[in-house]
């Protein structure tokens, strides 16, 4: 075995040991519990008291926590557990920034609009278009004797409505036939 190979293996082993110790430190910091004694009071005061008792940094806007109530805490808890208990039903969320810092904020607004239940009622067009202002009918009886829409009908269909006749100044049957695809007048 060469010295270079042995040196390389030793370096890898030390790097593995260092990363293991770092991960263990993070895990220990996350599971470290504190004796927390906080009376029921306003949430902003409770968050400040928790930060003082645990030595953690708890960042929050006073405007979101000032008028919110917080329950009393008298227990052995991690900082994360204590924060989640204090926030309770406040609608605020806790986000861990690093081993010793936490951010309290409102949930992120994803831009989605929340609407109440909506009922939509529609009415399809009938076979008659008189007075509807439409250029097409809804369902019609086709050669198959089924009520199909124009799109579902397996043949070419042209509907000339009263509205179209008025809009395009069609005065006679000849005017209508001239504007219908597939028809030649001689």
Domain total of the chain? 2
CATH of the domain at 156: 2.170.130.10
Please report, for residues 26, 28, 41, 88, 97, the alpha-carbon distance to residue 31 in angstroms, rounded to integers and kept in the order given. Answer: 9, 5, 26, 20, 16
pLDDT of residue 112: 64
- Residue 92: exposure state from Cβ atoms within 10 A (0-12, 13-18, ≥19): buried
pLDDT of residue 164: 86
43 and 84, same structural domain?
yes
Average pLDDT by consecutive 10-residue portion of the chain (186 residues)?
Answer: 57 55 49 89 90 91 84 91 89 86 81 67 62 62 61 72 88 89 84
33 and 76, same structural domain?
yes
49 and 90, same structural domain?
yes
Query: Whole-prediction pTM value?
Result: 0.45
pLDDT in tens, 86-104: 988 888 888 888 888 998 8
Q: Which domain does 162 fall in, by range?
A: 125-186
143 and 78, same structural domain?
no
140 and 101, same structural domain?
no
Tokens 């042209």, residue located:
158
pLDDT of residue 39: 93
Query: Cβ distance 117 to 101 under 8 Å?
Result: no
86 and 130, same structural domain?
no
88 and 160, same structural domain?
no
pLDDT of residue 88: 86
pLDDT in tens, 45-66: 989 999 999 999 999 888 888 7
Helix axes 43-54, 79-87, angle to 10 degrees: 170
100 and 44, same structural domain?
yes
């Amino acid at each position: 075995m060469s010295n270079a190979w042995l040196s390389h293996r030793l370096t890898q082993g030390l790097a593995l040991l260092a990363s293991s110790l770092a991960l263990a430190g993070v895990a220990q910091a996350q599971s470290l519990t504190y004796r927390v004694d906080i009376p029921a009071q306003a949430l902003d005061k409770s968050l400040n008291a928790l930060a003082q008792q645990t030595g953690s940094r708890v960042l929050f806007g006073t405007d979101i926590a000032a008028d919110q109530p917080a329950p009393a805490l008298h227990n052995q808890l991690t900082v994360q557990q204590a924060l989640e208990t204090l926030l309770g039903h406040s609608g605020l969320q806790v986000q861990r920034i690093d081993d010793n810092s936490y951010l309290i904020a409102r949930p992120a607004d994803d831009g989605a609009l929340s609407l109440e239940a909506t009922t939509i009622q529609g009415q399809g067009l009938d076979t008659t278009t008189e007075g509807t202002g439409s250029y097409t009918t809804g369902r019609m009886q086709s050669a198959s004797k089924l009520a199909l829409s124009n799109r579902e009908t397996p043949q070419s269909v042209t509907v000339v409505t009263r509205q179209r006749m008025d809009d395009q100044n069609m005065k006679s049957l000849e005017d209508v036939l001239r504007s219908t695809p597939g028809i030649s007048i001689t």
